[in-house]
């Protein structure tokens, strides 16, 4: 229940909506019970008066019945309208809250989570929390108030009737929900986990369809998905059958309550303690009153699932970011040289240091390259410079300021990145470019694309800059995607440029064209290039060679005699593997 208490501050801004939604639900229930009770009294009273040839004022009860019917209809509509509005607002707020806690964890702390699992948490788990308000909070409050009022109402006629009614209402509204809660806790928790696992398996199957087909594993993946689906369906079936049982049990309680009331009240009618029309009214009142507790067993059945979803969300929210933000304002560097000073870093649970005692100084406006085989620590330097991770030892400075003094967003505002894994969103080319500069004009977009040598290609598309690139840019070639990334970096106009294997996986012609675009992009910027290929090394001022996280060679190309690309690569022949 601690998870529910932690959620309350997030729901507090919508307490007015929740109050009116609960009030509408209560008035709807009250109108329905009043309609049934008044109808029973009215029909019995009219029949009794007719048999005795007595006159009766039927205008007042008729108006009460019609008013109750109108109030029930309007209340039910208002309840749905208000509660749905409140629920949608809360879910939207919860998603923003969850994403705001998710963002500081990226990418370091999120590497252990599958994208499908994160999607399940931000969608299905947050959606499951709407049960807390609509199916738990509102029914419990309405039931509590209603049972108290109904008991008081019955006690006006006879305390014994009130006690009998209260017993069966508590049986249906407390005992059954407790049983339902215990029965539904385990399958509810499994459903939450299985939905996430199923979504992850399906995403893996779709994204890896080519590899599964090549290696003949499609049948095994299908069987895995089928197993998860069957387990999910089994738990859902159990919850559905339990829900049917609780509905029948509530109906049984209502019937028994009516039978006991008649058994107690009929002698009262014979003895003149109770008028005959009142007997009909109390009978229908008793049946209608069980509407107040009818939804509680299912509400508590879903409570296990909601709690499991809340725990999954708080597992992410409570994670400690890999990098701690500073308290004060970020420095404002006057220049943008980069200095790595004896940097060492080990990833969590790693057997060895990713980088060890690395020092590198890149003057403002100059270019440096870090080369090495896969796993030598090149990308780690990027991750540390971008403050995705914090170094275990040593200091990284920009313009003489320790990057630990920068807020992450402020630091990354000075840095543009062109990566081998350029991510293009499922949007138009224009929208993908505007990520770097939302205020950029069309002419600015075209100028950047001309420098990146992609404008002519875009112009040939029927929809031009409004061309939809598809998920992860699937409608574009690798080279086109990289050049859009170059244009995006130009639009950002940052003083520091990081190039992460920008030509990896490209053919020779595309690689040459991209390097020409990158050469223009690098003008006037402090550039750090990481690669395990010789392309572009003749454009840099110094080269750092890494081997298993350690410096193998470091030299200024303009100073080190005969420090050609081939000689630097010859220091570690494994670099030619790229």
How does pLDDT run across 406-451, given as a tens digit for each residue?
998 899 899 988 887 778 888 999 999 999 889 999 999 998 888 8
Q: How far apart are CA 317 and CA 113, in angstroms?
A: 13
pLDDT beyond 80 at 41 = yes
DSSP state of 124: I
pLDDT higher than threshold 90 for residue 325: no
Q: What is the pLDDT of residues 558-577, one digit of tens each?
A: 543 344 444 444 544 444 44
DSSP-derived pairing of the beta strands 542-547 and 367-371: parallel
pLDDT at 267: 93
Whole-angstrom distance, CA of residue 438 vs CA of residue 436: 7
Q: Is the pLDDT of residue 254 over 60?
A: yes
Name the CA radius of gyration of the chain, rounded. Answer: 35
Cβ atoms of 503 and 421 closer than 8 Å: no
- Between CA 325 and CA 323 the distance in angstroms is 6
Q: Which residue has the tokens 């193998």?
A: 552
Name which residue leads in pLDDT, 304 or 328. 328
Structure tokens at 409: 């967003």
Instruction: Write down the CATH number for the domain with range 338-577.
Output: 3.40.50.300
Q: For residue 390, with 0-12 CB atoms within 10 Å meaning exposed, 13-18 middle and 19 or more buried, which class applies?
A: middle
Phi-psi region of 527 (alpha: psi -120 to 50; beta: other; left: phi over 0): beta
Pairing of strands 367-371, 355-362: unpaired
Pairing mode, strands 526-531 and 542-547:
unpaired
Segment 197-251, tens digit of pLDDT: 888 888 888 878 888 888 888 899 999 999 999 999 999 898 889 889 999 999 9
**Angle separating helix axes 176-207 and 303-317, nearest 10 degrees:** 50
Which single residue is written with the structure tokens 């053919």? 507
The verdict on pTM exceeding 0.95 is no
Sign of CA dihedral 266, 270, 271, 274: positive
> Does residue 302 contact residue 188 with C-beta atoms inside 8 Å?
yes
- In order of 299, 419, 434, 438, 454, the CA distances from 465 in angstroms are 50, 22, 11, 15, 11
Q: Can you give the residue ranges of every domain in the chain?
A: 2-317, 338-577
Domain 2-317 listed as CATH 1.20.1560.10? yes
Position 55 pLDDT exceeds 80 = no
151 touches 166 (CB < 8 A): yes
Per-residue confidence (pLDDT) for residue 148, from 0 to 100:
94
* Contact in structure between 86 and 14 (CB atoms under 8 Å): yes
Please tell me the predicted confidence (pLDDT) of residue 283: 93
Write the CA distances from 121 to 217, 309, 316, 532, integer angstroms: 28, 7, 9, 38
Q: What is the pLDDT of residues 273-311, one digit of tens each?
A: 888 889 999 999 999 999 999 988 888 887 777 888 888
Burial class (CB in 10 A: 0-12, 13-18, 19+), 5: exposed
pLDDT digits (tens, 9 = 90+) for 483-534: 888 888 888 888 999 988 877 766 777 777 777 777 877 888 899 988 776 6
- Length in residues, the chain: 578
Average pLDDT estimate for 373-402? 90
């Amino acid at each position: 229940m601690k998870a529910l208490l932690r959620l309350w501050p997030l729901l507090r801004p919508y307490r007015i909506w929740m109050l009116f939604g609960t009030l509408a639900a209560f008035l709807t229930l009250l109108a329905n019970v009043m309609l049934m009770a008044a109808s029973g009294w009215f029909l019995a009273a009219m029949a009794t008066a007719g048999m005795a040839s007595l006159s009766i004022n039927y205008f007042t009860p008729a108006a009460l019945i019609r008013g109750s019917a109108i109030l029930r209809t309007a209340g039910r509509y208002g309840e749905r309208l208000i509660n749905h509005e409140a629920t949608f607002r809360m879910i939207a707020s919860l998603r923003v809250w969850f994403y705001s806690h998710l963002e500081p964890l990226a990418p370091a702390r999120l590497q252990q989570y599958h994208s499908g699992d994160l999607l399940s948490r931000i969608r299905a788990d947050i959606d499951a929390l709407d049960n807390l308000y609509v199916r738990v909070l509102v029914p419990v409050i309405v039931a509590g108030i209603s049972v108290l009022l109904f008991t008081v109402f019955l006690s006006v006629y006879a305390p014994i009737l009130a006690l009998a009614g209260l017993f069966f209402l508590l049986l249906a509204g407390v005992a059954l929900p407790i049983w339902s809660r215990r029965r539904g806790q385990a399958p509810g928790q499994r459903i939450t986990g299985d939905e996430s696992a199923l979504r992850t398996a399906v995403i893996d199957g779709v994204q890896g369809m080519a590899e599964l087909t090549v290696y003949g594993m499609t049948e095994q993946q299908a069987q895995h998905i089928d197993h998860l689906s069957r387990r999910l369906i089994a738990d859902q079936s159990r919850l559905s059958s339990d829900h049917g049982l609780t509905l029948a049990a509530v109906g049984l309680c209502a019937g028994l309550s009516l039978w006991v009331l008649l058994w107690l009240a009929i002698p009262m009618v014979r003895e003149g303690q109770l008028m005959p029309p009142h007997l009909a009214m109390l009978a229908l009142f008793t049946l209608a009153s069980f509407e107040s507790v009818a939804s509680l067993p299912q509400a508590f059945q879903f409570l296990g699932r909601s709690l499991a979803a809340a725990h999954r969300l708080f597992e992410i929210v409570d994670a400690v970011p890999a990098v701690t933000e500073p308290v004060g304002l970020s420095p404002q560097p006057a220049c943008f040289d980069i200095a790595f000073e004896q940097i060492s870093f080990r990833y969590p649970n790693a057997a060895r240091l990713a980088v060890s005692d690395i020092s590198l100084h890149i003057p403002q406006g100059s270019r440096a390259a870090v080369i090495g085989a896969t796993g030598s620590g090149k990308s780690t330097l990027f991750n540390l410079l971008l403050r995705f991770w914090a170094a275990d030892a040593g200091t990284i400075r920009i313009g003489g300021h320790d990057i630990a003094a920068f807020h992450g967003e402020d630091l990354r505002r000075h840095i543009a990145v062109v990566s081998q894994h350029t991510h293009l969103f499922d949007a138009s080319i224009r929208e993908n470019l505007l990520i770097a500069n939302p205020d950029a004009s069309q002419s600015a977009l075209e100028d950047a694309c001309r420098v990146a040598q992609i404008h002519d290609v875009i112009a040939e598309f029927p929809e031009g800059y409004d061309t939809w690139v598809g998920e992860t840019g699937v409608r574009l070639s690798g080279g086109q995607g990289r050049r859009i990334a170059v244009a995006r970096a130009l639009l950002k106009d940052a003083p520091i440029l990081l190039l992460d294997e920008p030509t990896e996986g490209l053919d020779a012609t595309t690689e040459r064209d991209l390097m020409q675009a990158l050469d223009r992009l690098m003008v006037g910027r402090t550039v750090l290039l990481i690669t395990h290929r010789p392309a572009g090394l003749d454009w840099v001022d110094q080269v750092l060679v890494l081997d298993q996280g350690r410096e193998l060679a470091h030299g200024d190309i303009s100073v080190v005699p005969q420090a050609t690309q081939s000689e630097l690569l010859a220091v570690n022949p494994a670099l030619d593997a790229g």
